[in-house]
Amino acid sequence: MKSPSQRLLNTPLVEAVPAWLAKARGNATARTLAQSEWLLRRKLDGRFLAAVAGHSVRSLDAATLRTDTGIGAALDAIARDCGQDVSITTHGGPLRALEIPADYGAVHGLAPIAEPAELAYAGRDRYRRPLWLLAPAARAWLRMRAAARADDVSLDAISGYRSHAYQLGIFQRKLARGQTIAQILTVNTPPGYSEHHSGRALDIGTPGQPPAEESFDNSPAFAWLQRHAGAFGFAMSYPRDNPHGIVYEPWHWAYAGR
């Protein structure tokens, strides 16, 4: 059995993340985390629902834990603790819930992207949050970052794996603030279609540059990526005038290897 400490176990509604990666607020929570192996987190809003240690499940959010239907699947995943090469597809539900045009994928030349059943810890991102990627992409990213550093170039990760449910949460929050689906679709990919679901896509930044801005393409970091990223299996997904009609994203790279 592999060590549980470096992996995210994925199920449709809830994900299990290693407890040691979480930062505790307050002594009681710190004690619970120290005694736990896994934390169950609701993907839609990132809320922690329960802590799991061996066969015991301790509620961290009693009100939602009682009503949440995704807990059982997450506990099953911990029990199985396997699932390589198993994909999880949940995009049908969110898309229907959001009234995204049914021909969205066809119009943009984008296929629905399933979530991996398991993701690997790839260090922390710019904001000190755990970064999750598909295992080979995580290894390639860490190698590439080290090679850049050896050339005096600093690369940091801004965003890696994102779930369908997380993407749905972005849409729901914007809708609640009064934006229309059409407005949101000009800047966000609908749940199910973001390359970040695959665990292969990575938004890359460099210190001193704002995240996800076109000006990144003037940085030494971008010049370094253009020259070297291919050797590590990464390619820019959305160059200027890409056939998907997605805006130019010099910060967004995806790992194509296996």
Residues binding Zn ion (CB under 5 A): 203, 252
Q: Which is nearer to Zn ion, 17 or 201 (CB)?
A: 201
DSSP state of 118: E
Q: Which residue is nearest to Zn ion (CB)?
A: 252
The minimum distance between CB 258 and Zn ion, in angstroms, equals: 21
The minimum distance between CB 213 and Zn ion, in angstroms, equals: 12
The minimum distance between CB 92 and Zn ion, in angstroms, equals: 23
Q: Which is nearer to Zn ion, 145 or 252 (CB)?
A: 252
C-alpha pair distances (Å), 85 with each of 20, 29, 82, 108: 25, 34, 9, 27
CA atoms within 13 A of residue 184's CA, in its CB half-sphere = 22
Max CA pair span of the chain: 53
Distance CA 244, CA 252 (A): 14
The minimum distance between CB 152 and Zn ion, in angstroms, equals: 25
Q: Which is nearer to Zn ion, 39 or 119 (CB)?
A: 119
Q: Which is nearer to Zn ion, 91 or 252 (CB)?
A: 252
Distance CA 210, CA 16 (A): 31
Q: Which is nearer to Zn ion, 43 or 252 (CB)?
A: 252
Burial grade of 37 (CB within 10 A; 0-12, 13-18, 19 or more): middle
The minimum distance between CB 246 and Zn ion, in angstroms, equals: 10
Give the number of other Cβ atoms within 10 Å of residue 244's Cβ.
14
